[in-house]
Structure 1
Amino acid sequence: MAPTRVILMSCGSYDPPTNMHLRMFEIARDHLHRMGTHVVVGGVISPVHDSYSRKELTSSKHRLAMLNLALENNNWIRLSSWECRQNGWTQTRRSLQHHQNILNSLLFEVNDVKNHFETDDLDWIPENVKNNSDSTPIEIKLLCGADLLETFAIPGVWAEEDIEAIVGQHGLVVITREGSTPNKFIYDSDVLSKHMSNIIIVTEWIPNEISSTRIRRALKRNESVKYLLQDSVIDYIYQHGIYGAKRMSSIKLDLSSNIENSVLHNDSKYEIAFLTPSPTDVIMETPSPVDNISIDMPDSKSTLGNCNESEQAREKFLSMISENGNTFLPNSNTAFSDLNQQVILTEPGDSQIFEEGTAKPACLL
């Protein structure tokens, strides 16, 4: 028997769309093709209407824009804006039925569907389906995570007739998550058990607990979400200030003070954040022999036991620069090449050399 052609459809908030939302499609398609029972001809994402009862739901204008960006380089998953264009929230069952009806009309050339529907209503259909004369039926199955399956058992969340229609008429492809037991939920539900043959359980062997809720929280706290979302989606979020996200405009370290006082300088519309450098921020060089040299600095007020040298002495110290491989010392015509030297400022008249391995003042690094 020939494999059944299917389109995987996922419904939800997508606030924001994560890499895991896209990953689910890949996992499901691999599993169905490996089993040899189905051929996945496409995928469709259908975000919910703004009136969906979730606190602080981002407007569909932004959610659709983010999804378009997330899918711009995807060659088989498409976006349907039909739910967002309705007058109110649409039940998942109705959304599945609507998309299945349009697909059937196209396949069987009913009512000249290409000329009687808006372009937005057909954009989600794969080009190879729209332009192919093959009229073999295509089933739309609901792709979901195990957490959605578990909500079927919560009283008042789903109407029993909706569950019956979703599972019985369309079918489920369920992606497991770590610690979930979807087979137990199926066994405990009379409706799900009745249509067990129409539920496909796909095990995700590479656990990934990316959560839109946690990503929104991270963005609100100005924490990085790179590699959790598509880069283009992250840029869009910062550009429009969604979830309270604010991008720092520039980074400037105050190198003349202690690292604890280093800050990220910002434009007036952005708040200040403090930077703690990681080991990867430090440039490591090949160790070389160190000669510790004490230099007479007549204008310096620094001593071996005191690191709070005067501003004039600091300027003299910082005036030693590296040029063409030579290190030049103030008030000296002598150049030292290929030496990594540590300079100690002393009182006028003092001159002292610290050999390697000998004690040095505690304040010196």
Structure 2
Amino acid sequence: MRKRVGILGGTFNPPHLGHLIIANEVLHALKLEEVRFMPNQKPPHKKMTDKVTEEQRLAMTKLAIQDHEKFKLETIELKRKGCSYTYDTMQLLKAQEPDVDFYFIIGADMIEYLPKWYKVSELCKLVQFVGVNRPRYSTESEMPIVSIDIPDISISSTLLRRRLSQKQSVKYLIPDQVISYIKEHSLYESR
């Protein structure tokens, strides 16, 4: 029997409850065996500007998912250097795990951008895309996407970084253990 695995990629800078809710909703809706959180090296569509290291993003992600037995960490993109193209990553994962069906989870903000992804038609043969709704974005697409309706979550890492830099509360938006890590390592403080 083939294993069904979700992949949730992102910078996780910082990881927040929105990420956890998305992963949990898709896990149950599609009856997946696990969801892997995959921090990316250098996303082609985002500029990484702040001083948080890969190791710190990895540590925060590990802390965020530690209480869920079906959430795992996937470090394949951090082990590679250069731009993180999903096509290249999924080719490697499929070669390593040919008996796994991968479900690649994206938010509605990425659904709109999906036709512009690197080698997207080849990528669609490697994974099943799973789109989740986000406020103010459409889940409509020409691409083959399974749409999962989740509670509207309007938390963004950008908002959280801004709050943290202004020493505002992020309680109930970020897992407590991640907040402790952020404070302990003085992350996101304005210089």
TM-score (norm 1): 0.49
**Higher relative contact order structure (alpha carbons within 8 Å, sequence separation ≥ 6):** 2
Q: For 1:182-222, what per-residue CA distance to the aligned partner results, in whole angstroms no more than 9, with x for missing partners? A: 22xx14xxxx2xxx3xx210112x21101000000000010
| Greater C-alpha Rg | 1
1:142 partner letter: F
SS in structure 2 at match of 1:243: coil
Equivalent of residue 233 in structure 1, options 172, 175, 178: 178
Quick one: structure 1 residues 51 and 76, their matched pair in 2 at CA, closer, same or farther if it must change by over 3 Å? closer
Structural RMSD (CA): 2.1
Matched, 1:148 2:110: yes
Does the 8 Å contact 1:83/1:89 carry over to 2?
A: no
Identity of aligned residues (%): 24
2:101 partner letter: E
Q: For 1:127-180, what per-residue CA distance to the aligned partner results, in whole angstroms no more than 9, with x for missing partners? A: xxxxxxxxxx42012111111111125xxx523xx2112223311011111232
Matched, 1:29 2:13: no
The CA deviation at 1:86 is 1.6
The CA deviation at 1:245 is 6.7
SS in structure 1 at match of 2:32: strand
Matched, 1:44 2:44: no
Q: Take 1:174 and 1:61, find their aligned partners in 2: how far apart are those partners?
A: 28
2:117 counterpart residue number: 158
Quick one: structure 1 residues 170 and 74, their matched pair in 2 at CA, closer, same or farther if it must change by over 3 Å? same
The CA deviation at 1:6 is 1.3
Equivalent of residue 16 in structure 1, options 14, 17, 22: 14
Does the 8 Å contact 2:42/2:48 carry over to 1?
A: no
Q: Take 1:82 and 1:201, find their aligned partners in 2: how far apart are those partners?
A: 26
Q: For 1:253-284, what per-residue CA distance to the aligned partner results, in whole angstroms no more than 9, with x for missing partners? A: xxxxxxxxxxxxxxxxxxxxxxxxxxxxxxxx
Q: For 1:30-71, what per-residue CA distance to the aligned partner results, in whole angstroms no more than 9, with x for missing partners? A: 222xxxxxx411111111115865131421010001011112
1:209 partner letter: S
Equivalent of residue 212 in structure 1, options 132, 139, 157: 157
Matched, 1:91 2:85: yes
1:103 counterpart residue number: 97
Q: Take 1:14 and 1:49, find their aligned partners in 2: how far apart are those partners?
A: 11
Q: Take 1:94 and 1:8, find their aligned partners in 2: how far apart are those partners?
A: 17
- Counting matched residue pairs gives 189
Q: For 1:295-332, what per-residue CA distance to the aligned partner results, in whole angstroms no more than 9, with x for missing partners? A: xxxxxxxxxxxxxxxxxxxxxxxxxxxxxxxxxxxxxx
Equivalent of residue 172 in structure 1, options 123, 129, 151: 129
TM-score (norm 2): 0.90
Does the 8 Å contact 1:50/1:59 carry over to 2?
A: no
Gap runs ≥5 in structure 1: 33-38, 105-136, 247-365
SS in structure 1 at match of 2:33: strand
1:237 partner letter: I
The CA deviation at 1:96 is 1.6
The CA deviation at 1:81 is 1.6
Quick one: structure 1 residues 44 and 51, their matched pair in 2 at CA, closer, same or farther if it must change by over 3 Å? closer
Gap runs ≥5 in structure 2: none
Q: Take 2:27 and 2:122, find their aligned partners in 1: how far apart are those partners?
A: 23
- Equivalent runs, 1:323-334 vs 2, <5 Å: none
Does the 8 Å contact 2:43/2:84 carry over to 1?
A: no
2:49 counterpart residue number: 56
- Equivalent runs, 1:1-365 vs 2, <5 Å: 5-32=3-30, 39-49=31-41, 53-57=46-50, 58-104=52-98, 137-153=99-115, 157-159=116-118, 162-183=119-140, 186-187=141-142, 192=143, 196=144, 199-204=145-150, 206-244=151-189
The CA deviation at 1:85 is 1.8
